[in-house]
């Protein structure tokens, strides 16, 4: 006999919360971060120029990825902006990217007066579909920003094969994908440039912060100038040689990030261990529930743990299934961002600069670009179906057992037709 669902008045599987990345319960933060911060404060050198931690972070991060250059900055959004500034598109040029992402991937495109073009997604990996990317390339395409969503490696090889013969830069958005792997290669080591976030929820965190990496010396130079107001910092007078912003990371952020860099391999290993546990449990206990799909030869790093359900087999919609597992005490949400990012007012209707819609109405653009929900039909369906379970490195075996039991209980209930 099936146990009565909590949503129908039964006893929930879990009563009480789980470790969360929003506070110390779900984060690997401790004495090393405190020691580094104390050293910085006592030195009085809080600015990156004159300190040591930001420079060390850049060198060690580049070494971890096997890249020639790393540039620390104020956020993952800033890292994307640095990458685009390095590529240096002309006004009205186009940048292809994904419809499921944070606005931090998109706003730097518009800030550079380029136009975001959205390709559709693979319905299993939730990453960019190379065939859809190919269909969106024009003679104005300057870059493709590829997001490794939730820590699942995207097919960089297939996209690079489209981009590089045409002189199009490939930018990896690795903000959710520390140490994810594609046939032994780390996310962030494959594109022309790659970007990472140090925001609170990421695999390594300093509250906020970002890092951009590249092997291209010209890209590195342009990005470094852009991050420091175009200031060369050479000679006896200030020489501003390029339009830029202030995206410099400070030593306090660098001190925390450097301590975190020493922990990130362990963080990812623990996330993988617990994710593998849940995948096994779902296979044993949860009929009709599909765990994350990863391409052969790839390794997920589990920023989040997304699942889908077989609606035909279970006879239930994702929203109802999610409400039922929430009632069992399992944290989860449907849809991640709800609608494709291109449906946000910031991209469809809101003014961008003053009362204008530049770059969308820019005379330098070669065509008028507007967005409709069904532009990326796979994306719309993914967002309708996907159920995202939050994940972190501090989950214990019992935490995951309870998540698996809660999902399994609900799945068996619906599979039995009750």
Q: Is 349 helix (H, G, I), strand (E, B) or coil?
A: coil
As a whole number of angstroms, the distance between CA 116 and CA 227 comes to: 22
As a whole number of angstroms, the distance between CA 254 and CA 51 comes to: 9
Number of neighbouring beta carbons within 10 Å of residue 323 = 15
As a whole number of angstroms, the distance between CA 389 and CA 325 comes to: 10
CB 94 within 8 A of CB 113: no
DSSP string, 43-85: HT--STBTBSHHHHHHHHHHHHHT-SEEEEES-HHHHHHHHHH
CB 69 within 8 A of CB 217: yes
Enzyme catalytic residues: 202
CB neighbour list of residue 399: distance below 8 Å, 6 or more residues apart: 18, 19, 274
DSSP 246: B
Tokens representing 287 are: 């009929």
CA distances from 41 to 33, 38, 200, 254 (A): 12, 5, 22, 12
CB 158 within 8 A of CB 136: no
| Half-sphere exposure for 338 (CA within 13 Å, toward CB) | 2
As a whole number of angstroms, the distance between CA 125 and CA 148 comes to: 9
């Amino acid at each position: 006999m099936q146990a009565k669902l909590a949503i129908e008045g039964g006893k929930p599987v879990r009563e009480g919360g789980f470790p969360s990345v929003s506070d110390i319960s779900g984060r690997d933060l401790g004495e090393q971060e405190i020691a580094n911060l104390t050293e910085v404060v006592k030195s009085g050198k809080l600015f990156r120029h004159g300190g040591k931690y930001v420079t060390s972070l850049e060198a060690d991060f580049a070494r971890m990825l096997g890249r020639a250059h790393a540039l620390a900055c104020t956020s993952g959004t800033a890292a994307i902006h640095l990458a685009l500034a390095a590529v240096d598109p002309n006004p009205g040029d186009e940048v292809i990217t994904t419809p499921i992402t944070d606005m931090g991937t998109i706003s730097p495109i518009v800030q550079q007066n380029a136009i975001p073009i959205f390709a559709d997604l693979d319905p299993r990996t939730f990453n960019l579909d190379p065939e859809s990317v190919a269909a969106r390339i024009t003679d104005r395409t300057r870059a493709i920003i590829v997001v490794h969503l939730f820590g699942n490696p995207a097919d960089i090889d297939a996209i690079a094969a489209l981009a590089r013969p045409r002189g199009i830069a490939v930018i990896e958005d690795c903000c959710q994908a520390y140490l994810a792997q594609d046939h032994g290669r780390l996310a962030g080591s494959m594109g022309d440039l790659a970007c990472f976030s140090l925001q609170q929820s990421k695999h390594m965190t300093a509250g906020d912060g970002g890092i951009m990496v590249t092997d291209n010396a010209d890209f590195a130079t342009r990005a470094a100038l852009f991050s420091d107001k175009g200031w060369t910092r050479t000679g006896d007078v200030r020489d501003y040689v390029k339009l830029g912003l202030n995206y410099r990371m400070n030593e306090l952020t660098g001190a925390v990030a450097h301590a975190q860099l020493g922990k990130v391999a362990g963080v990812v290993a623990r996330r993988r261990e617990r994710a593998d546990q849940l995948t096994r449990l779902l296979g044993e206990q949860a009929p009709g529930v599909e765990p994350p799909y990863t391409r052969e030869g790839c390794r997920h790093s589990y920023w989040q743990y997304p699942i889908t359900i077989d609606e035909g087999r279970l006879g239930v919609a994702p929203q109802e299934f999610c409400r039922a597992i929430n009632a069992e005490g399992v944290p989860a949400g449907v849809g991640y961002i709800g609608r494709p990012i291109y449906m946000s007012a910031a991209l469809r209707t809101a003014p961008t600069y003053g009362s204008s819609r530049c770059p969308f109405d820019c005379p330098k653009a070669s065509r008028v670009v507007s967005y409709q929900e069904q532009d990326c039909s796979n994306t719309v369906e993914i967002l309708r179906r996907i159920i995202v379970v939050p994940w972190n490195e501090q989950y214990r075996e019992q935490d995951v057992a309870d998540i698996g039991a809660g999902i399994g209980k609900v799945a068996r209930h619906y599979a039995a037709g009750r």
